[in-house]
Amino acid sequence: MDFRPPLSFFLILFTTQCCFSANTELKALMEIKAGLDPENKYLSSWTFNGDPCDGSFEGLCCNEKGQIANISLQGKGLSGKLSRAISELKHLTGLYLHYNSLYGVIPKEIANLTLLTDLYLNMNNLSGQIPPQIGELGSLKVLQLCYNQLTGSIPTQVGSLKKLNVLALQSNQLTGAIPASLGDLGTLIRLDLSFNSFFGSIPTKLADAPLLQVLDIRNNSLSGNVPLALKRLNDGFLFQNNPGLCGSGFASLKVCNDSDHINPSKPEVYGSEAAGVTREIPETANLQLPCEQKPCSKPSKSQRGPILVALIVVIVALSVIGLVTFMQYHRQQQKLSSLSEVPENRLSTDQTKEFSRKNGSPLISLEYANGWDPLADGRNYNGFAESFRFNLEEVETATQYFSELNLLGKSNFSATYRGFLRDGSAIAIKSIGKTSCKSDDAEFLKGLNVLASLKHENLVGLRGFCCSKARGECFLIYDFVPNGNLLSCLDVKDGNGQVLEWSTRVSIVKGIAKGIAYLHRNEVNKPALVHQNISAQKVLIDDQFNPLLSDSSLHNLLTNDIVFAALKGSAAMGYLAPEYTSTGWFTEKSDVYAFGVVVFQVLCGKRNVTSLVRVGGECCRIQDFIDPNLHGRYLECEAAKLARIAWHCTHECPVERPSMEAVASIGVVERWGRFEKLAEPGLHLFNPCAGQWLAGVLSTRISSLDVRIETKTKDNVFVQLVCSIQYRVMKRHADDAFYELQNPKEQIQAFVFDVVRAIVPRMDLDELFEQKGEVAKAVLEEIEKVMGEYGYSIEHILMVDIIPDSSVRKAMNEINAAQRLQLASVYKGEAEKILQVKRAEAEAEAKYLGGVGVARQRQAITDGLRENILNFSHKVEGTSAKEVMDLIMITQYFDTIKDLGNSSKNTTVFIPHGPGHVRDIGEQIRNGLMEAASAKVNVE
């Protein structure tokens, strides 16, 4: 009879399996925590009683099935080891542990994470070798192991990662040859092996990788011919500091000779095998382990019953726990479903990022290289991109990986985060989706270049930008402004916010006017611009309560539909000029209208400006709309002037609105054609019937003028000098500046030419470089004296550059190089001289010591011999010293013959062989035997 368990059995079995799975992951997390954070400083939220998927576990994210899919603990200060328990998290797709202080080895058990797509272990202190098992991570797309202390070679198994896009191994202690198997990575885009100790040649197979864009092999010991296929990478191929490399078609590589070429008959080393050794594996070789030939035994039917009964008992015992776990899982499932609608399969990397964003988890990054910039074609556009470019690592680290705690604000197309750079400076990062930006990269970069050119004390300064292709976002990095925006200072109720003082309000209005006037002006380094989105929200307040306009010219980066959507908000708040609805065009007078609305808001302290406020401004009934929070602490004349400015700026007809230059500049007032007075910045009413007119305006801001002068030095070197002059109109002499001098720039330029061309020809080129400050000082003294008479003050003069003729620069470089080579030769000669002297001294000392040693040896032999002879003579009476000496000599003779005979290495003994020599030997032997016998008798 077959045993068929009921459906409820499978339900219990399913719930129990869920329970086991959850408990297994939780247990693994506790082991991982013990390894990563042994002191429980940073992962205290990981508790055995907690739920990893409810958002309470730091840096964890689960998929829609309640399984751990992501661990994002980058930059958390962890200082432990990565536990092999990580292999229990079977559904993990992203592991981000970079920017910590982890040590130890990479566990080989990590190979069990078959769904892993992103592995970031860079910027730690990991050691040991890269486990070959890492080649089993078939889903891996990004492998970041750089900036560690890894040793050994690159496992050939890495070539099995068919989905890999990024392999970063730079700044380790890796050695060996570059595996040719890396050429099998058909999706590889970036490979960084720089700052290691790799040797051998660059595999031709690697050069043919179809999608490769960046190959960085700097600072290794590679040699041989560089494959010509790498020339297609252009700037993406970095090979400096590999002296043994050669090749044709590469500007900075030497041309290969015959010895540099690799022998084509010699097979290329594959993997990390020893150089020159090639293993041949037969095609028919069986690589599988032998299995035992015994057949598998099956349990008999009589054995099934007890096993099933025991299984049912265990299941029933756990059913209560299983049902509770199932209900908890079901509730979690409903919670996750409400947050994110995702398909039933596992989360992809992009889905995981979106899911993390919705759950407030730190967002993850897929790339860390400037080379991934989608605007790379414009990297040299006017020299802008390189100097202002940030990389994604800096942006993510600054914002703590876009933590919700650093979120300052969001809109339909952007989000703004606060961050800190490594130097401690605070920044604001505006994230804009790529779909919201202009699709034409050249047009986008042109707008970005305009943004970078804006420099004014009342504009938020742009520090740089970063674009991420994988994230689909561009980031604008600004200086951080601490006191929020002007909008937060409006509608303040007693005790619920900070009320701006009257002097602060006046200063804010003036600063806004100066900033807008700067945008509207056409200058050398920037065109005339229209802001298009001026509002109280766009006016930021710094720690000194100075106003700073934000998002200036931002519309040049955005698509038309995004700009139009932003205008809807402006219209709702009353900032949009009425003529836009009929013309659809923005002009400078549109900005003036929005400025007038902001002035009314500052005066009344409210966000909503009603028609009653405008009427009060027209009639100068200040008390009808002035902010009651001021409690009368304001100057009525100033308030009336500001109200009139606001009323004129918000006139229905654009022609009737004043320009921002008129609002922000000093006015020169005449009566009947003669100078009468100066009018401070603002709007003034004049009486034409009394002959009163505004003759013109002057700006009291500091202006800058760059002057280029070509001249010749005393030693006949043609040079170009760049002199930067900062000047301004003195208020007390503004009438002189207006009437006496028509074109101050030409006047200043003429005096600079005159002074520089009078001084420089009396100086050698070297003197000019050394005394350029003296030249700038002489120019300042001369121009200050002359321009002061016309009402202008010269603030600073800087000699910013001295540029000799190109041929002279080339000659100077050659002379400098020759001098250095000469100096190096002198040093080398001195070193060789010292070396020879020291070698001679050492040789003489060695000979002296050798001689002393030989002398002492001979002295010791002589002393010993004399002592032996005397002792023998005293003991044997009747023997003379000569007899003893003869006996010693014959004994020594026999000992020598004996030693020669006993030596296994001697096969021939040379003895005298002439008749006379035989007689001599015989006599010597006979005399020796007789003397010995005689000595014996005497002893007896």
The pLDDT-based confidence of 496 (bands split at 50, 70, 90) is: low
**Using an 8 Å Cβ cutoff, are 801 and 746 in contact?**
no
Strands of 366-457, DSSP E: 407-410, 414-420, 426-433
- Mean per-residue pLDDT over the chain, rounded: 77
- Residue 485: is its pLDDT beyond 80? yes
- Residue 699: is its pLDDT beyond 90? no
**Using an 8 Å Cβ cutoff, are 221 and 193 in contact?**
no
Question: Residue 331: its pLDDT value, please?
Answer: 42
- Residue 484: is its pLDDT beyond 60? yes
Residue 32, SS3?
helix
Tell me how far apart the alpha carbons of residues 210 and 157 are, in angstroms, rounded to a whole number: 19
Enter the DSSP assignment of 163.
Answer: T
Question: Residue 490: its pLDDT value, please?
Answer: 87
> Given CA atoms 472, 477, 483, 488 in this order, what sign does their dihedral have?
negative
Closest CA relative to residue 85, chosen from 28, 34, 38: 28
Among 287-291, 460-464, 702-706, 710-714, the minimum mean pLDDT is found in: 287-291
**Using an 8 Å Cβ cutoff, are 598 and 535 in contact?**
yes
Question: Residue 267: its pLDDT value, please?
Answer: 37
Question: Residue 364: its pLDDT value, please?
Answer: 31
**198-245 per-position pLDDT tens digit:** 999 999 888 888 899 889 998 999 988 999 888 888 878 888 888 888
b/e burial code for range 801-827 (CB count within 10 A of at least 16 → b): ebebeeebeeeeeeeeeeeeeeeeeee
pTM, entire model: 0.44
Question: Residue 314: its pLDDT value, please?
Answer: 60
- Residue 105: is its pLDDT beyond 90? yes
Classify residue 665 as exposed, middle or buried by CB count within 10 Å of its CB (0-12, 13-18, 19+): buried
Tell me how far apart the alpha carbons of residues 767 and 518 are, in angstroms, rounded to a whole number: 40
Residue 728, SS3?
strand
**Using an 8 Å Cβ cutoff, are 109 and 87 in contact?**
yes
DSSP string, 520-578: HS-BTTB-----S---GGGEEE-TT--EEE-STTGGGTB-HHHHHHHHHHHHHHT-S-T
The pLDDT-based confidence of 523 (bands split at 50, 70, 90) is: confident
Rounded to an integer, the average pLDDT of 111-129 is: 90
Rg, C-alpha atoms of the chain: 45
**32-79 per-position pLDDT tens digit:** 988 998 888 888 888 888 888 887 888 888 888 888 888 888 878 888
- Residue 167: is its pLDDT beyond 90? yes
- Residue 104: is its pLDDT beyond 90? yes
Classify residue 368 as exposed, middle or buried by CB count within 10 Å of its CB (0-12, 13-18, 19+): buried
Residue 578 is encoded by which pair of tokens?
A: 């009425």
Which residue shows structure tokens 């998929």?
63
**Using an 8 Å Cβ cutoff, are 588 and 530 in contact?**
yes
- Residue 338: is its pLDDT beyond 50? no
Question: Residue 19: its pLDDT value, please?
Answer: 46
Beta-strand relationship, 462-468 and 473-479: antiparallel
Which span out of 123-137, 399-413, 628-642, 716-730 was modeled with the highest average pLDDT? 123-137
- Residue 25: is its pLDDT beyond 90? no
**Using an 8 Å Cβ cutoff, are 803 and 720 in contact?**
yes
**Using an 8 Å Cβ cutoff, are 63 and 87 in contact?**
no
Tell me how far apart the alpha carbons of residues 47 and 44 are, in angstroms, rounded to a whole number: 7
- Residue 141: is its pLDDT beyond 80? yes
Tell me how far apart the alpha carbons of residues 914 and 920 are, in angstroms, rounded to a whole number: 10
**Spacing of C-alpha 732 from chain mean position:** 51
